[in-house]
Chains A and B, each alone.
Chain A
Amino acid sequence: MARNRSCLYEEYVWEVPVRATHWINMLAIIVLSVTGIYIGSPKTLGLDPSDYVMGWVRVVHFTAGYTFAVSVASRIYWAFVGNRHARWREFVPFLYPEGRRDMWRMFLYYVFLSRKVPHPTGHNALAGATYLLVFTLYLVMVGTGFALYAEHAPGGVMHTLLTPLYALFSNQGMRLTHHMVMWLLVGFAIHHIYSAWLMDVKERGGVMSSIFGGYKPVKRGE
């Protein structure tokens, strides 16, 4: 152990845009979920017809929605210009043999069939593939969210740009999708926090703190 510790050095893994979008996404998802649940099944909180409870909740929801959309778009952009841990290749491990091998090893560890904890410097392969799915869900949420929002102005710019979505979803189907994907993302958040804790404990790679500071302790190769 002592020998190993002496070989550790710090590697800058998560660049500022990666960390910033991570936390903005988290805050936005919390705000969007709480306000979204209220919008979906409100309680009578207004005491007077001149109150503006739902009005404000919707303003917050739309503002958080725009913030989330910009954050998601920024992260996707960064997947093409960032360092190798931020790159799009990290999210499609199933496309190359090494990635498939890493996914399989990680899977074996998760289902208690292996005692070896893979410890890649960036995303583990299984997590990378999961984030591809998560970002797909993000895009579904952003798309359906703006499509529902644009219904106040049919024929407007946003409504016109989102025409394919109105063809893809029935009006109510779009609302149902927007609800169900929120719950999928809540499920993901639970899994995500748990896995981060598990990896922090088992990998001993400081993955939890790395998303704050960006650095990870990495053992230098011989």
Chain B
Amino acid sequence: MPKSSDEREVVPRPSGASVWEERGISRRDFMKFCTAMSAALALPMSLVPRIAEALEADGRPSVIWLEFQGCTGDSEALLRAASPTVGEIVLDVLSVDYHETIMAAAGHQAEEARLKTEKERTGKYIAVVEGAIPLKDGGIYCCVGGRSAVDIAREVCGGALATIAVGTCASYGGIPAAAPNPTGAVSVSEAVPGATVVNIPGCPLNTDNLVATIVHFLTFGKLPAVDGKGRPLFAFGKRIHDNCERRPHFDAGQYVEQWGDQGHRKGYCLYKMGCKGPETFHNCPTQRYNEKTSWPVGSGHGCAGCSEPHFWDTMTPFYRRLPNVPGFGIEMTADKIGLGLAAGTAAAFGIHGVVSALRKGDESDEGKEG
């Protein structure tokens, strides 16, 4: 790593640079953040100065943060950091013009702030959506300021430069869309067809992934590359199981057999406890949560697959490897049913065999067709 005096030569420092120091972020910490971001985005080190330049530039885009059928968990994830971080401030200095949970304005005043941004910065602001959007019965199940969520989302996302769906509910409908989905909840991309949406699922989302997506946007002027489910590849391109710190125990053949047993205390693999790491694509093992403090598997609990579409319906039961077989009770596992099937077959043909063996006078064609 170059010394800080060298960095000053490499990185041009426009007027925005002092913003960071005013906020108590040293030049060294700032460059560390830029490096960490380039790592999170899997970009080469040579792009670090470009990231720094982009973050220091003036004219950061406005952000309208909408919340619909959600639990505010994603906003919480963003706000509840243990100490102010560079990532937090990146989001802070983005001009967040509307965010129901944190904005000072209320009522019509708040709605006006949103409308002002929509009107004055059409096609230039970023829309962030948290929570699912109900469509049933004209979308009446979620209204803000007398207007339905779908109405507001179509207006705001339709005029946005890009939309970021934060959390599983906004990305895929999440828990509000779980069966029987009484409100007809859908994801942002389904509710606003045609909008440019990048999904950052997770319950809650990992703030690092949101910040990295925004940094990517500020640096390159476009959203990061996504997979077939609209998720950024840098964060959702690999399976949890393949990067898991407990993976060596999986390969070795060492499993937690029940909660609190010797294997659990030793940090063995949680595969048998229903961990959905093998079916979930997310960077939790490497990026972790809350300033890289920990993550579910790290703290001894299996992955629930929270960042996958329809996880509430398809990843349950959370403490079993396989879903329940439709039409059978919850105590019947697929393998119990299968074993019963095999035993039943054996019994049926056994009886058939006894009957056949005792039966006399069967007459063979003896292959007369030749």
Contact = CB atoms under 8 A, between A and B. Distances in A.
A37 B321 CA distance: 12
A216 B364 CA distance: 15
A180 interface: yes
Given A155-B237, A183-B341, A171 B325 contact: no
Contact of B361 (A109, A115, A172): A115
Interface string A41-66: 11111101111111101000000000
A190 to B, nearest CB: 5
Contacts of B338: 179-180, 182-184, 186
Interface stretch (B65-73, B205-213, B344-352): B344-352
Contacts of A183: 334-335, 337-339, 341-342
Interface residues of B, number: 61
Interface in A101-128: 109-110, 112, 115-121
Nearest to B313: A170
B314 A173 contact: yes
Interface string B264-294: 0000100110001011010000000000000
Contacts, number: 178
A172 B253 contact: no
A42 B252 CA distance: 11
B271 A121 contact: no
A179 to B, nearest CB: 5
Interface residues of A, number: 65
Interface of B: 227-228, 233, 237-239, 242, 248-255, 257, 263, 268, 271-272, 276, 278-279, 281, 305, 308, 310, 314-315, 321-323, 325, 334-335, 337-339, 341-342, 344-346, 349-350, 352-353, 355-357, 359, 361-370
Given A120-B369, A184-B341, A205-B364, 11 more contacts: A11-B370, A41-B335, A53-B252, A54-B252, A55-B251, A116-B363, A183-B337, A191-B349, A194-B352, A205-B366, A205-B367
8 closest residue pairs by CB, A with B? A183-B338, A53-B253, A46-B253, A46-B252, A119-B365, A194-B349, A55-B251, A187-B345
